[in-house]
Amino acid sequence: MLSTVAYSISMDSLILQHYFFQVFHVALILFNLFGWLSKKTARWNLATLLLTAASWILLAPFYGLGYCPLTDWHYQILWQLGHTDLPRSYIAYLVESLSGYRPGPLITDICTGAFFSIALIVSIVRNIQIARSRKSQVAR
């Protein structure tokens, strides 16, 4: 009986962790894509985009190009919950979770890279505009 209770608590904990990572990871993705819209969050947006790029590129020699620790940690939880056929990409996992369709790795990587690149460029431009605007206000 005690082992059943412990198993239930353990499963409940894993499910809670799964939902935490699901919400946090999706929120980070959305923030990376759209955080530049607000002046208040533009600087933080650029920081999270640069951290994401650093993870994808600087950790590549150790874990492969595009490595994300959030995906790694979330997948460890999903494996413990019995999900074994997970795609390499968290974006592919999200698409499959929402639609039942698993996009191929190439299209997933192209779309992810394109949307990320657009968000990074827009964020850099937006942050430059904000900095120039602040400088001109101070000069007045």
Q: What is the pLDDT of residue 92?
A: 98
Give the global pTM: 0.89
Write the DSSP symbol of residue 76: H
Range of the domain at 37: 2-139
Question: Pseudo-torsion of CA 71, 124, 47, 34, nearest 10°?
Answer: -60
Name the domain count of the chain: 1
* Cβ atoms < 10 Å from Cβ of 46: 19
Dist. CA 37–CA 1, nearest whole Å:
54
Q: Helices 90-99 and 105-139 meet at what angle, rounded to 10?
A: 110
Q: What is the pLDDT of residue 16?
A: 96
Q: What is the pLDDT of residue 135?
A: 83
Q: What is the pLDDT of residue 8?
A: 62
Closest to 22 in 3D by CA, of 100, 83, 93, 114: 93
Which DSSP helix (H) or strand (E) runs through 120?
Answer: helix 105-139
- What string of pLDDT tens digits covers the 140 residues of the chain? 445 545 566 889 999 999 999 999 999 999 999 999 999 999 999 999 999 999 999 999 999 999 999 999 999 999 999 999 999 999 999 999 999 999 999 999 999 999 999 999 999 999 999 999 988 887 66
Q: What is the pLDDT of residue 9?
A: 62
Q: What is the pLDDT of residue 136?
A: 82
